[in-house]
Amino acid sequence: MYMTIAKDRIGGLIFLALSIGYGFSITLIPMYPGDEYEVFTAKTLPAALALIGSVLSLALLILSRGETKKTLPDLDWAIAVKLMALMSAYGVILETLGFLVATTLFLLAGYWILGERRKILLFCCSLPLVLCFWFGLTQLLDIYLAPGVLLQWMGV
């Protein structure tokens, strides 16, 4: 099913909220004594940006009053959510399981999510490839890659 949305109005509202939030956060920026006498402080540019952002968002909202809703392309949201979750999980396990194990699992899961079921391809494009990459990084380019908390705990 195709979804229709008023892109400009939604965009305008999001940026208006963002500009207001950004403008409010300026109050959290600490100031040094005497800064009140300075023309340009750490708050000056952010304040100007919050103002410009609000004005532009309002302009977009006003100009999009007569906007007709547009159809979004036919998107497969489920696969995007799966890939995002996979990447996030990779970020979590990378330092726990170590580069080799985490990356092999990431690639295997990635191929699987995208529908690859050929076992030879799944194997050839995961562990050997990661090993080559790991060898290139650690042995040729001399980049240190931590083995991971789990492997360290196991004494590897």
Partner 1 sequence: MWEGIYIGVTTAVMPFNLLMMFVGCFAGTFIGMLPGLGPVSAVALIIPITYGLDPSSGIILMAGVYYGAVFGASTSSILINAPGCASTVVTAFDGYPLAQQGHAGKALALAAYSSFVGGTIGAIFLVFFAPMLAKVSLSFQSSDYFALMVLGLTAVAAFAGKGNILKALIMCVLGLMLSTVGTDRSNGVERFTFGSIEFIDGLSFLLLAMATFALAEVVMSVMDRSINAEGSKTSNVASLGSMKLSKSEIKEVAPTMIRSSVLGFIVGVLPGAGATIASFLAYGVERNFASKEDKEKFGKGSLKGLAAPESANNAASTGSFVPLLTLGIPGSGTTAVMLGALIAYGIQPGPQLFVDHPDVFWSVIVSMYLGNIVLLILNLPLIPYIAKLLEIPRTILIPLILFFSLTGVYLVSFNAFDIQVMIIICMAAIGLKLLDFPLAPMLLGFILGGMLEDNLRRALLIHDDSMSFLWERPLTAAIMALAMLALFGQPLLNLIRSKLGQNKGQEVYDGE
Residues of this chain that interact with partner 1 (CB under 8 A) are 5, 7-8, 10-11, 14-15, 18-19, 22, 25, 28-32, 39-42, 45-46, 49, 52-53, 56-57, 59-60, 63, 72-77, 79-80, 83-84, 87-88, 90-92, 94-95, 103, 106-107, 110-111, 113-116, 121, 125, 129, 133, 137, 141, 143
81 is written with which tokens?
């959510």
Separation of alpha carbons 49 and 29, rounded Å: 15
Q: Name the residue nearer to partner 1 (CB basis): 71 or 154.
A: 71
Contact predicate 148/96, CB 8 Å: yes
Separation of alpha carbons 133 and 87, rounded Å: 19
Q: Smallest distance, Å, CB 58 to partner 1?
A: 11
